[in-house]
Amino acid sequence: MLTAGERVREADPALWEKIDRDRVRCYACGHCCPIHEGQPGVCKVRFNQGGRLYVPWGYVAGVQCDPIEKKPFFHAYPGALAYSFGMLGCDLHCAYCQNWVTSQALRDPEAVSPPLEADPEMLVKDALSQGAKVVVSTYNEPLITSEWAVAVFQKARASGLVTAFVSNGNGTRQVLEYLHPWIDLYKVDLKSFDDRHYRQLGGRLQPILDTIRTLHTMGIWLEIVTLLIPGFNDSDAELRGLTTFLASISPDIPWHVTAFHQDYKMTSPEDTRPEDLVRASAIGREAGLRYIYAGNLPGRVQDLEDTSCPNCRHRVVERYGYSIRKYDLTADGCCASCGARIPGRWSNRFDRQIAASPFLPRRQGQLVKIHTQA
Ligand code: SF4
């Protein structure tokens, strides 16, 4: 497995400072770890060596081409291909993590993902050759590897690609300011609206709420996902609090409420039922949200996979799972029926969807497996 001492470089000065002779403080995520000499932070991938902070560099633990609908972004370039890469590690430890092979690789010996050697030019070249429009840092928590993401995004932007994070939102003012010039789209997992639940996952609620507010103020396109877990975060009161908070920032923020299925170490609650998603959506609508989507149960959630114009109810985008069935927006992102503006980032025309399901990049060996010790 890749160890903390391999494939690293010094952290960007914007994301750390020296506290005293022995300790540094990292600002890449909301933990703001004070880190002693020779030790890593909570994420296990950023560490203090000789009074300097070192961070992951020069590899990817996973690369995949996903429909952008899988990230999910529903109001950003429907049908686009999202070239998705991840590194290792996470700052939370959710038992139900669906990306545990990469996110928990440094905590759990069963979660091993062989890394591939990479550089930003190589990744962007690969993304372009697959036909991608968007490059996404995802699979592990991208905030903790922000320097690498920015290096890739700088090259991606220069080649005309859109850039995105799929993140738990446990940010800081420092890391969001660092990312701001280079990032177009940001998905935040708002896992609960109860601080006690966040502490079970190894975090706190407040930094996530602050991140959501800051991203909206910065004008980065933002979509929110809540994985609805029966008995954990699905009470009416919690969902009312969560959706009221989102609507207070903007009723135009898309909220995806998605179905839990048993995974990894979380095998006790039942899988989320379609009626649970419909109930959560009704609570969100009552709170004032205008774009609510039910995910992971295609064809079983009424019209909650589609985007409807809030003015005339015309269905401007129809979906089934990740697949686009109909697209009826004007070139400037307005409802083709009544002309109302639909918030989001839209292409001036919808060509076609490259893929409605994920695939591994077809390539001729640009990315090379790193030989690691067991
Ligand atoms: S990224 Fe977060 S968890 Fe990792 S060292 Fe920095 S503050 Fe700590």
| pLDDT tens, position by position, 86-108 | 999 999 988 877 777 677 666 65
At 47 the pLDDT is 97
- pTM for the model stands at 0.94
Cα 46 to ligand 1 centre (Å): 6
Cβ atoms of 104 and 92 within 8 Å: the answer is no
Q: Which parts of the chain sit beneath pLDDT 70?
A: 1-5, 101, 104-113, 263-267, 363-374
Strands 59-60 and 116-117: antiparallel
Both ends of the chain: CA-CA distance in Å?
A: 6
At 362 the pLDDT is 73
At 108 the pLDDT is 59
Residues with CB under 6 Å of ligand 1 are 26, 28-29, 31-33, 41-43, 46, 91, 144
- For residue range 137-181, list pLDDT tens digits in order: 999 999 999 999 999 999 999 999 999 999 999 999 999 999 999
Query: For 53, phi and psi rounded to 5 degrees?
Result: -95, 130
Q: Whose CA is nearest to atom 5 of ligand 1?
A: 41
At 263 the pLDDT is 65
Q: How many CB atoms lie within 10 A of CB 366?
A: 16
Closest CA to 78 of 86, 70, 87, 69: 69
Q: Where are the alpha helices (DSSP H) in the chain?
A: 100-103, 120-130, 146-158, 173-179, 195-200, 205-218, 236-249, 274-287
- For residue range 233-263, list pLDDT tens digits in order: 999 999 999 999 999 999 999 999 999 988 6
Cα 51 to ligand 1 centre (Å): 16
At 374 the pLDDT is 36
- Candidate from 46, 104, 147, 148 with most ligand 1 atoms within 8 A of CB, to mutate: 46
**DSSP assignment, residue 290?**
S
Q: Which atom of ligand 1 is nearest to the CA of 172?
A: 7
Cβ atoms of 211 and 169 within 8 Å: the answer is yes
**DSSP assignment, residue 112?**
-
75: helix, coil or strand? coil
At 115 the pLDDT is 85
Half-sphere exposure of 13 (CA within 13 A, CB side): 0
